[in-house]
Structure 1
Amino acid sequence: MIKRFSTLALASMLALPMAASANSAPDVSDLERKIEELSRQLIELKSAVADQQAVNAEQEDILDEIDDKTEAWDLASRIKFYGDFRSRVDYYNADTVGGKSLSNDSLWTNRFRLNMRVKATENVEFKGRLAMYKTWGMQSAFQDDSGAMWPEFDGNVSRTPIGDSSLYVDRAFVNWNNIGGLPMWFSIGRRPTTDGPPSEVRLGEDDRLATPMAFMTYPFDGLALGYGWSWGPEALGSSKIRFCYGRGFEDGLQVDSPGSIDDMDFAGLSWDIMKKDDRFLYLQSFMAFNVINYPNFQNEAIDMGFGEMSGMGDRVNLGDIWHTSAVYQNKVGDLNYFLSGGYSQTMPNSNGMFNSGGYYVDPPMAPANTDNEHGYSLYAGVRYDMDNIGLKLGAEVNWGSQYWVAMSPGHDEIYQSKLATRGQVYEVYMIYDLPTGEAISKYAKTFIRLGYQHYEYDYTGSGDWNMYPYKVNDPMVASMDPIESADQIYLTFEAKF
């Protein structure tokens, strides 16, 4: 275009003197001067074109570099990081049957969790979570004279406050979705099995936090195979069913002998019967196979002491436990509510479960209890939301029978799992969304949670299937001086990002 313009301009300028020559005699010197001027301008124009070509080439290099970086950015955008931080202070006071009072006027903890999601292919995704959960001012586990808290092991690691800032892998699993073009998926790894429904109601969360119902709060490694569908009528929403398998204890390499133990495994079904908006109906049923009398604790000294000093002796398998629970939750206006129930059945082998007296001492003081025992639990709660002022008020109550067994070592109650209680627990709480300005992250949420829990124990050994659950005031357990009631107040500051 530039060359065409310069040619036309030159031709036009040459034509002017030619037209003028028709009326006057040619001026050769003037013509030569004009030709020299045009030549100079043409040289300058060529130089400008060359400079512009150099600029264009440089811009092309920059654009190519941006394209390369954009591709790298696109790859990096597959990885999503988000997390949460919680600082919590607890006041705890417990009264034993013998009149002794146990108290901790302030137990401070920090919990940090970092989540990661990565798309590997269109239908394969990795999800992970790292967690640090530390007690303030300690470099060892805090003392628990209540006897309610188990030492750290695979079923509560990352869920129990410890005395250092170790970062544990809390969750790490891969989902293969849309298998064969069907609404089917396969998942394997460290499972999302803590804080299941309806825990999200009192934890101030908007979404479901885990697959199993809250009676099953047990971090473990395993797999799941699921299938989802829509019921058709809009009011019924969607449904998902999963077969789940996991390992709660690995027995290791052993000599095959009568004294050897077997792995402890979980297997069962998890069914989202109906999910439509806030309305949710869920059922789970699973078997714990070859349960053990006590797990493999992280600290070997604790491991040995727990067995020998407690009179429980060597680690052994005790049999199987069948566990079934269901929950229905919904929201009407600003009122959230749920109702759930659980059933457990112990199926002991010759070693027995819920053994009385000192069965584990040698020689045993009483025969092993090999009877199947049935346990029951009920759990209900409400929460009223006042979104205009960022305030939520809630209340919950749960009850467990004499032989009730909850698989909840990964609970979030500091000392004792309230859903494992053989007795009653009453709780009231408030959640207040702090006015911290406009959200920068879509995950952002900052709030405080203040709550009060009152425990009333009817039977001993909540959460345990080893010893017989005596009434707390039974003379048989007078020497153990069991806890009869407890009160706990907690305050959290929580930020999600």
Structure 2
Amino acid sequence: MVKKFSMLALAGLIALPAVASASGGAKANDLERKIEELSMQLDQLKAQMAEGNGVSQDDFDDLAGTVGDLEDRSESWDLAARIKFYGDFRSRLDYYTATNASGADVSNDTSWTNRFRLNMRVKATENVEFKARLAMYKAWGSQGNIYGSGSNGNGQIFPNWDGNSTRTPSDNALRVDRAFVNWNNIGGVPIWFSIGRRPTTDGPPAQVRMGADERMATPVSYMDWPFDGISMGYAYRWGSEAMGTGRIRFCYGRGFEDGIELDTANVMDDMDFAGFSWDVMKKGNRFINLQSFLAMNVFNYPQFQDPVIDQMAGLPQDQGGFGPRVNVGNILHTTGVYQDKFGPVNIFAAAGWSQTDPDSSGMFNDYVGMMMGMTGPNTESENGYSTFVGARYDIDEIGLKLGLEWNWGSEHWIAMTGGHDDLYQSKLAARGNVYEIYGIYDLPTGEAISKYAKTFIRFGYQRYEYDYSGSMDWNMKPYDLDDAADVMALGMMGLDPVESADQIYLTFEAYF
């Protein structure tokens, strides 16, 4: 009986490495307990051998060897259990149709995409933790970016660059979306330091529309831009139960690396970000955040990952290019968001202000006037504004959530949303109105296996109505799309931007 029971216990121990690595370091104590139980059974076998109860020396040696081997391997199992893996998969179907300023229609009746993301967390020491996320994002039947000619003006996907490399459909490669180290509790106080590829996409209040249970990034979603940098933060309590907790962070990042400077004309400076993100308070579902940052030495356009496109972009404007890559000045960006929940109703309100500080190259230039010799670069500071509100009603009894959002941007509004998740044009960058209605349905797929697990479909409709051209562009003057002379001026430059667009989407999403 003892021998038979020992073999069953041994079979259970064989599975322990997989259990330990899946469940975390807490399983180490269970492993030690099992080894102790098996050691006790070894002592029983030894006693039975002394009494001559039919236990052979071979049986005893086999079990003794197994216990020794498990003890040797237990430390490595514990080390492996430090690493936690989790992720998500999304398949998305989009229907898109748009009307350009000249009246021409463009459309894509079916666009399928797959996105896979794998997260990793591992502690190096008690207060140092590494976090990473790899991402694959591609269109069905394509191993490249599905942009079209005149991509930015005609509402297609912008070519791949550092600020959207994991946020735009391309090939089936896994790329580093996030990778950073946090040093927490520095000096025994609630101060932390973090460095690496930053978690700066899908920030609040994006999680409301995307079906996430918690905040997905540090900055407000008006700053939806993957970049590399550092942050230092301090966490505090207000001392009032009603106010809860807060955090303030200083953030610095690099948006463009110019490389080695050559003693030639058109030498660029690196583009950097610096600013603050302040969680003023968080109590339950109530959340207030203010953030302000300065983008310094902003480029006129980024370095594209496709060398052919990058070379074409450097051509003079009269040859269909963007002209030489240069710095054009600074942009000050300030935003805030308020979120709360009352019963089944989630609400939020956000606002943004952008201000340009151009250098001699100018921002919001009138290129038609410049080509005709009527005007020079616009070196005046311009202010832009945006508002963004939304609500979601949760019907928990049937696993359904219904939401409605609206945002508006002024003539000179600039959104830092190069890494947006709207497939074609960023809705928060629009100079005009965008309306969205959506639903999220939790699929009845059985009991969750882990705390990360959930499966749902998300469906929605977006309506874009642009008042001015050039959303997310700080180079060209915003042309009034209701003004015939402005539309003609755009045509002289070979541009026919989207005036209105309709988009319907359906996703199947699994988190694991």
The answer to whether the superposition gives a TM-score over 0.5 is yes
Indicate yes or no: 2:265 matched with 1:255.
Answer: no
CA distance in 2, matches of 1:250, 1:397: 36
Alignment of 1:297-376 (within 5 A): 297-308=304-315, 309-358=319-368, 366-376=375-385
Indicate yes or no: 2:315 matched with 1:288.
Answer: no
Partner of 2:480: 471
Give the drift of 1:138.
1.4
| Greater mean deviation of Cα atoms: 454-463 or 470-479 | 470-479
TM-score, length-normalised on structure 2? 0.85
Residues 93 and 113 of structure 2 are in contact (CA less than 8 Å); yes or no, is this contact kept in structure 1? yes
| Greater mean deviation of Cα atoms: 111-120 or 47-56 | 47-56
Residues 90 and 108 of structure 1 are in contact (CA less than 8 Å); yes or no, is this contact kept in structure 2? yes
Q: 1:173 aligns with which of 180, 183, 186?
A: 180
Q: 1:82-108: CA deviations, max 9, x gaps?
A: 000000010000011221000000000
Partner of 2:208: 201
Give the drift of 1:481.
2.7
Aligned identity (percent) is 61
Residues 244 and 269 of structure 1 are in contact (CA less than 8 Å); yes or no, is this contact kept in structure 2? yes
Q: How many residues align?
A: 452
SS in 1 for 2:124: strand
CA distance in 2, matches of 1:243, 1:94: 41
Q: 2:243 aligns with which of 236, 247, 251?
A: 236
Q: 1:442 aligns with which of 445, 451, 458?
A: 451
Amino acid at match of 2:138: K
Indicate yes or no: 2:172 matched with 1:157.
Answer: no
Amino acid at match of 2:244: G
Residues 145 and 168 of structure 2 are in contact (CA less than 8 Å); yes or no, is this contact kept in structure 1? no
CA distance in 2, matches of 1:358, 1:261: 25
Q: 1:423 aligns with which of 432, 456, 460?
A: 432
Give the drift of 1:45.
8.6
Give the drift of 1:49.
8.3
Residues 445 and 495 of structure 1 are in contact (CA less than 8 Å); yes or no, is this contact kept in structure 2? yes
Distance 1:283 1:310, change over 3 A: farther
CA distance in 2, matches of 1:140, 1:170: 18
Residues 281 and 289 of structure 2 are in contact (CA less than 8 Å); yes or no, is this contact kept in structure 1? yes
CA distance in 1, matches of 2:365, 2:376: 8
Q: 1:102-128: CA deviations, max 9, x gaps?
A: 000000000000000011111111100
Residues 250 and 263 of structure 1 are in contact (CA less than 8 Å); yes or no, is this contact kept in structure 2? yes
Give the drift of 1:69.
2.5
CA distance in 1, matches of 2:395, 2:213: 15
Amino acid at match of 1:155: G
Partner of 1:140: 144
Indicate yes or no: 2:500 matched with 1:485.
Answer: yes
Partner of 1:494: 509
CA distance in 1, matches of 2:364, 2:83: 48
Partner of 1:38: none
Q: 1:109 aligns with which of 102, 107, 113?
A: 113
CA distance in 2, matches of 1:422, 1:307: 27
Q: 1:160-191: CA deviations, max 9, x gaps?
A: 011x2111100000001111111011100000
CA distance in 2, matches of 1:45, 1:155: 70
Q: 1:210-252: CA deviations, max 9, x gaps?
A: 0000000000000101110111111101111110000000001
Give the drift of 1:442.
1.6
TM-score, length-normalised on structure 1? 0.88
Residues 147 and 158 of structure 2 are in contact (CA less than 8 Å); yes or no, is this contact kept in structure 1? no
| Greater mean deviation of Cα atoms: 284-293 or 466-475 | 466-475
Amino acid at match of 1:483: V
Partner of 1:10: none
CA distance in 1, matches of 2:321, 2:476: 11
Partner of 2:18: none
Partner of 1:76: 80
CA distance in 1, matches of 2:349, 2:145: 35
Indicate yes or no: 2:286 matched with 1:276.
Answer: no
Partner of 1:16: none
Partner of 2:23: none
Q: 1:409 aligns with which of 402, 410, 418?
A: 418
Residues 311 and 358 of structure 1 are in contact (CA less than 8 Å); yes or no, is this contact kept in structure 2? no
Give the drift of 1:466.
0.3
CA distance in 1, matches of 2:125, 2:373: 58
Where structure 1 has 5 or more consecutive residues not aligned to the other structure, the ranges are 1-43
Larger Cα-atom Rg: 1
Give the drift of 1:283.
0.5
Q: 1:433 aligns with which of 425, 428, 442?
A: 442
Residues 449 and 493 of structure 1 are in contact (CA less than 8 Å); yes or no, is this contact kept in structure 2? yes
Indicate yes or no: 2:195 matched with 1:188.
Answer: yes
CA distance in 1, matches of 2:257, 2:340: 39
SS in 1 for 2:505: strand
| Greater mean deviation of Cα atoms: 217-226 or 47-56 | 47-56
Give the drift of 1:56.
5.8
SS in 2 for 1:285: strand
Residues 411 and 478 of structure 2 are in contact (CA less than 8 Å); yes or no, is this contact kept in structure 1? yes
Residues 282 and 326 of structure 1 are in contact (CA less than 8 Å); yes or no, is this contact kept in structure 2? yes
CA distance in 1, matches of 2:479, 2:49: 103
SS in 1 for 2:309: helix
